[in-house]
Amino acid sequence: MASVSASSSSSYPSTSLSLMKPRNSKYDVFLSFRGEDTRDNFASHLFSALSQKSIETFIDDQLNRGDEISESLMNAIEASAISLIIFSEGYASSRWCLDELLKILDCRKEYAQIVIPVFYRVDPSDVRNQTGSFGDSFSKLEERFKENSVKLQTWRNALREAASLSGFHSLNIRPESKLVKEVVNHILKRLATVFPCVNNNQLVGVESRVEEIESLLGVEWEDVYTLGIWGIGGIGKTTIAKAIFEKISSDFEGSCFLQNVREESVRPGGLACLQLKLLSKLLQDDNVMPNIALSFRRLSRRKILIVFDDVSCFNQIESLIGSLDWFMPGSRIIITTRDKQVLRNWGVKKIYEMEALEYDHALELFSRHAFKQTHPVVGYEELSSKVMEYAQGVPLALKVLGCFLFGREKEVWKSAINKLKSILHPSIQEILKISYDGLDDKEKNIFLDVACFFKGEDVYSVMKFLDASGFYPEIGISVLVDKSLIVISNNDRITMHDLLQELGRDIVLQESVNPGNRSRFWHHEDIYGVLTYNMGTEKIEGICLDMSKVKEICLNPDTFTKMCRLRFLKFYSSINGENKCQVSDFRALRFAEVRYLHWHGYPFKSLPSNIHPEKLVILEMPHSNIEQLSESVQHHGKLNQIIMAACNIFTKTPNPSLIQHLNKLVILNLSGCSKLKSLPEISSAGNIEKILLDGTAIEELPSSIGCLSRLLELNLGDCKNLKTLPSSLCKLKSLEEICLTGSAIEELPSPIECLSALCVLDLGDCKSLKSLKLPFDGLYSLTYLYLTDCAITELPESLGLLSSLEELYLERNNFERIPESIIRLSKLSSLLVSYCERLQSLPKLPCNLYWLDAQHCTTLESLSGLFSSYKCVFFYLNENFKLDRKLRGIVEDALQNIQLMATARWKEIREKISYPALQGHVVLPGNEIPMWFSSQEISGAS
């Protein structure tokens, strides 16, 4: 910060009230400025920069003000944590500005409000003494109020006080972009003192460690600096990294905390998704281009901060950022990992080893969970001390033990502690087992199933399996969540800490020294031995084999005969490949108790005949040779999912009784069944939620599909022989999504407007669909309409009846005009008409439109009313688009309200104007701002 004057000597009140207002503030910053001087330049740039950092800023946009400051403005000042005053040359000529200043200084005295002056092209001493050009503007005000000497003196005192505060001087910080950046960064730091991070249960003992790591990051390192945080699972690496990130991220031009790198990277396309997220965060660009070289070139101009959390191998970081050579000197990279070798391989400058919490901090963390306060309850001090001996200062262990003992009587505590004493090797896993031992048998089985098979899986699918296993998952999972043994993520996935997963698997390993007598298998070497040498027993309940990790397994026909309790069988391949489990006779397979059967590349044409019809709930046979389903499967009453992805030899139509009896069916996925031409008649299967027939050769749907009264989703993508849909489809009142992408559909059934719940209608690449002669008045819920690549020659006027429509995709069609009724689509935010080469004009468009893409519309001439009332527009024009003088005037007028941006095929984006109230973009392909613009100045580049 460039300090231009010493802080005033006035002291802040020490009352509690001084802290109340900032903590309850509606705004982070109140911006005080004279509009005529800075509204369209410095003030607007500053407001935009504050908004980009998610700093809630009040700015008064009124062009015409009265003599008296309004009550609402007074309230806004009082409701702000910080007041930022832009002293410009004409500031003191405005009574309004000076009254704002009086109120700001009153709030400083009464509420300890932070006040920061910015001296914009004026000298602080001139403001303090009302001299120079600043004094000239004050003299004009004196003429108006010469009879009110008291008021004038009050203003003089206020100017003197404010100008004595430490602030920023524009003449000392050049260019203005640097001044804006320094002001914003200073405000972020001041806000951190006003709204300090709440020291919740997760942050005990963090402050000293944060200071240590911050010192290791060191400002003396001018090049790119990498720091590793290393330690066992549950020791608090992620917590510390987050605290560091939150404290210093504002010092960098781009920052990203990339969490769970290990888990996310093993998912299909996981590393690519992580890289896209990383670039998007660092560049502050939600629409970052997939051109990696270009994106990293842009990054090379920014000082950035990255945290890679939970990295398990060198290749993960290498795949995400390649080399440190991409980054600007001064950038910082932090890596958390349990594997020290990862840090050595990456060549980090310093490895910070996470150690257990000191006793006092450990006791506080435990107490927060066990007693809901910072210290033990009277009478529990000695018991708590004994728990500390076994928890060994590991934060996760302390939390789990605290949650386990919360609200329990002393006798339970003593029993638990005595049990701890009986543990020969008091490791973290054994300590956490105390929480496991507190579960009943059903809850224990759920915990072990999750630890061995289901970590990261969808909770609803898992619950169906657990329910079929008789484990009462609704209450069981709730108990496990309450005991901090599992977590349900925001995207409905079951997750658990690695330490707890190791605990569950260790419990299974300790069931027997003989692998065949254990209940669950997940390690390929153990499974290979048991299956190859027929060592299975009645103890085995679940097998989960990654076939990509074995060369081949030749199964004995009687391999599964002894496994009479087998509930879960999954042969999958993390790397797409052929089935490696060979068995000579499928009829000998015994799966009477199986609830979940997944077999990648199942080698036979029929399923085993003895699958129990009342127990199997999930059947997945991707890349299999199945031609028909067995009679036992056809009559299942509980089957929830049938997935036959890419069953290319599926030649026979399923038995007519199949769908009639699958009353619990959730998913029927016949993806890739290219020879399946028809489905049997369907009777009411009340709980069906999805039918996916992607890529089949199906030619028609049975009229009885209208019986599926609860059907939510119908996917007929790439059914290239499907030309019509039965009118009975319109009976499906609950249907929310129809996908006909790439089908041969020629027209939609009538009355499709009866589908009042329909949210998504995807007709992309339906080349045979020439027009949409439909009344849309009943599609009240339709939100997304995809008509890309359909060769449509005419759009119906009834398009304007889709009152809920938000996104309309019309690219690559043959219509000449868009109906005038589109103006009635008040919720429409995106309109894409690129490559509509016959489109001649655009009508007046809805005022809330956010995204308009009209690239390569080579005959587009009219833009009637385009810029009349936009709040935010991303508008893409064809490179050869010719504007007549009238339209040029429209575009130039729009520059008063939105940003103009010129781009050279997405390689370079340049800002023309940044106006805070109406932020948006007009994008014109090409290297330069068109010559016909009256102003050719470029204020910045990205």
Q: Closest Cα to residue 381, out of 366, 401, 395?
A: 366
| Dihedral pair phi/psi, residue 653, rounded to 5° | -65, 135
pLDDT of residue 19: 42
Strands 841-842 and 862-863, sheet pairing? parallel
Q: What percent of the chain has pLDDT over 90?
A: 21
CA dist., res. 846 & res. 805, Å (int) = 11
pLDDT of residue 84: 94
Whether the model clears a pTM of 0.85, i.e. scores above it, the answer is no
Q: Tell me: pLDDT of 814 over 60.
A: yes
Q: What integer is the mean pLDDT of 637-663?
A: 45
For residues 207 and 670, which has the higher predicted lDDT (pLDDT)?
207
- Residue pLDDT, tens place only, 101-139: 999 999 999 888 999 999 999 999 999 999 998 999 898
- Residue pLDDT, tens place only, 546-604: 888 888 887 776 778 888 899 999 988 877 666 677 666 656 567 778 888 888 877 77
pLDDT of residue 774: 65
CA dist., res. 751 & res. 830, Å (int) = 27
Query: Do residues 618 and 611 lie in contact, with contact meaning Cβ atoms separated by under 8 Å?
Result: no
What is the number of residues in the chain?
942
Query: Do residues 349 and 335 lie in contact, with contact meaning Cβ atoms separated by under 8 Å?
Result: no
Strand partners, 924: 902
pLDDT of residue 162: 93
The H or E element containing residue 738 is strand 737-739
pLDDT of residue 324: 81
Answer positive or negative: Cα dihedral of 468, 469, 472, 474: negative
- Residue pLDDT, tens place only, 24-61: 678 899 999 988 888 888 999 999 888 888 888 998 87
Q: Tell me: pLDDT of 295 over 60.
A: yes
CA dist., res. 629 & res. 733, Å (int) = 30
Long-range contacts of 725-729 (CB under 8 A, 24+ apart): 725/701, 725/749, 726/700, 726/701, 726/702, 727/703, 728/703, 728/704, 729/701, 729/705
Write the CB contacts of 775 (distance below 8 Å, at least 6 apart in sequence).
751, 753, 798, 801
Helix ranges (H only) for 232-291 are 237-248, 261-265, 270-283
Q: Which of 36, 68, 89, 100 is catalytic?
A: 100
Q: Closest Cα to residue 155, out of 144, 166, 169?
A: 144
Q: Given pLDDT bands bounded at 50, 70 and 90, which one contains residue 648?
A: very low
CA dist., res. 480 & res. 162, Å (int) = 58
CA dist., res. 462 & res. 477, Å (int) = 10
- Residue pLDDT, tens place only, 850-903: 788 888 888 877 665 555 444 445 555 554 455 444 445 555 554 444 333 333
Q: What integer is the mean pLDDT of 715-736?
A: 85
Of 18-22, 44-48, 763-767, the poorest mean pLDDT is in 18-22
175, 179, 184, 186 alpha-carbon torsion, rounded to 10°: 140
Q: Given pLDDT bands bounded at 50, 70 and 90, which one contains residue 425?
A: very low
CA dist., res. 718 & res. 695, Å (int) = 5
pLDDT of residue 825: 92
To the query of whether residue 100 is one of the catalytic residues in this protein, the response is yes
- The pair of structure tokens assigned to 844 is 């007046």
3-state secondary structure at position 481: helix
What is the Cα gyration radius of the chain?
34
